[in-house]
Amino acid sequence: MTAAVSLPVGPVANAIMESVDGIGTVPTAVAQVFSLINDPKASMSDFERVMRPDVGLTANLLRSANSAYYRGSREITSVKDAISRMGLRRVFEVVTSQSFARTIPPKLKGYELAADAYWGHSITVAVLSDRIGRAAGFTYPDLAFTGGLLHDLGKVVIATWLAGAGAFQVTPTKVLHSIDDERELLSFDHVEAGEALAHRWNLPKDIAAATRWHHDPSSAPTATQRYFATVIQVADTLSGLAGSGEGVEQALDPSSLERLNLTEEKLLRLVEDAKPEISRTRELLKMR
């Protein structure tokens, strides 16, 4: 059952949320794979069973398993072999990424942002979130990559609406650079829209919460969600230093550093160390 999401009431907000169903869906396989990863009794056959019916998803997984990222000595031709080569965690990342990529329009209207730039930023934040989460001892580090990847999910909601029905009702007079710009135009922002879409897609509740609170981690309702949202916030802040397609230079929030028990110096070294992985992951997960 989809969790209830509280959003401002108004004709524009209602119209945008009604348009969410037109964006597309993340295949059921994503939620099923996530459940299997967390099931100690799950077998290789279980993973193969839930993924094989989605031909496009399987094709992308095999393409990734045979990419230069892994440089295997033999060709991978089955889901089972792909899992063996890549590992369950990376398989989940690939499945989620390729599914999400299908929903991104060629250009995000209102943000004046090309899909490749948006995707590059998302992957950068994903890799940094994973590394920061592990450095900080986050309880659920395997969620960090996916949380970073989907942190700006709401921008897809808003851009898709502005390119369709919204174009006849609201015309941005300036580029939407901030949450304040979004609220001025629409009465709500991309983090609220992103949380709503995450729930509609039946994504893990902590992923939805990280999407909602990554600009304001202290307001997240649980300690785990505050910690998780802080990981995403710091990764987002540092993304420009890592060559993100969208990131801008920002100051690190001292309260966030304190919550994660990490210094600015350590984080800057982490960003430098992550750059090769970011490049490889962009190649692995590039938009088709």
Please determine, for residue 262, whether its predicted confidence score (pLDDT) is greater than 90: yes
Question: Distance between CA atoms of 236 and 242, rounded to whole angstroms?
Answer: 10
Higher pLDDT residue, 33 or 232? Answer: 232
**pLDDT for res 260:** 95
Please determine, for residue 222, whether its predicted confidence score (pLDDT) is greater than 50: yes
CB atoms within 10 A of CB 184: 14
Q: pLDDT tens digit string along 164-214?
A: 766 667 778 889 999 999 998 888 899 999 998 888 887 888 899 999 999
Are 127 and 277 a contacting pair, CB within 8 Å? yes
Per-residue 3-state assignment (H helix, E strand, C coil) for the chain: CCCCCCCCCCHHHHHHHHHHHHCCCCCHHHHHHHHHHCCCCCCHHHHHHHHCCCHHHHHHHHHHHCCCCCCCCCCCCCHHHHHHHHCHHHHHHHHHHHHHHCCCCCEECCCCEEHHHHHHHHHHHHHHHHHHHHHHCCCCHHHHHHHHHCCCHHHHHHHHHHHCHHHHCCCCCCCCCCHHHHHHHHCCCHHHHHHHHHHHCCCCHHHHHHHHHCCCHHHCCCHHHHHHHHHHHHHHHHHHHHCCCCCCCCCCCHHHHHHHCCCHHHHHHHHHHHHHHHHHHHHHCCCC
Are 128 and 240 a contacting pair, CB within 8 Å? no
pTM of the model: 0.86
pLDDT, mean of residues 4-22 = 60
CA 92 to chain CA centroid, nearest Å = 12
**pLDDT for res 10:** 60
What letters, b where the CB count within 10 A reaches 16 and e where it falls short, cover 248-279?
eeeebeeebbebbebeeeebeebbeebeeebe
Provide the angle, in degrees to the nearest 10, between the axes of the packed helices 44-51 and 79-86.
Answer: 120
Q: Name residue, tokens 């990424």.
A: 97
Q: pLDDT tens digit string along 134-169?
A: 999 987 777 899 999 999 999 999 998 888 766 667
Please determine, for residue 2, whether its predicted confidence score (pLDDT) is greater than 50: no
Q: Name residue, tokens 């919460």.
A: 209
Region(s) of the chain under CATH 1.10.3210.10: 105-284
Of these ranges, 91-95, 169-173, 220-224, the one predicted with the greatest mean pLDDT is: 220-224
- Angle at alpha carbon of residue 236, lines to 125 and 261, rounded to 5°: 100
Q: How many residues does the chain have?
A: 288
Q: Spell out the residues 6+ positions from residue 280 whose beta carbon is closer than 8 angstroms to its own.
A: 69
CB atoms within 10 A of CB 187: 15
Q: pLDDT tens digit string along 60-78?
A: 888 888 887 777 778 999 8
Please determine, for residue 219, whether its predicted confidence score (pLDDT) is greater than 90: yes
Question: Distance between CA atoms of 144 and 230, rounded to whole angstroms?
Answer: 11
Closest to 127 measured CA to CA, from 254, 259, 283: 283
Write down the architecture of domain 105-284 according to CATH.
Orthogonal Bundle (1.10)
Q: What token pair was written down for 7?
A: 């959003």
Question: Distance between CA atoms of 194 and 33, rounded to whole angstroms?
Answer: 21
What is the rounded (10 degree) CA torsion for 25, 146, 115, 83? -80
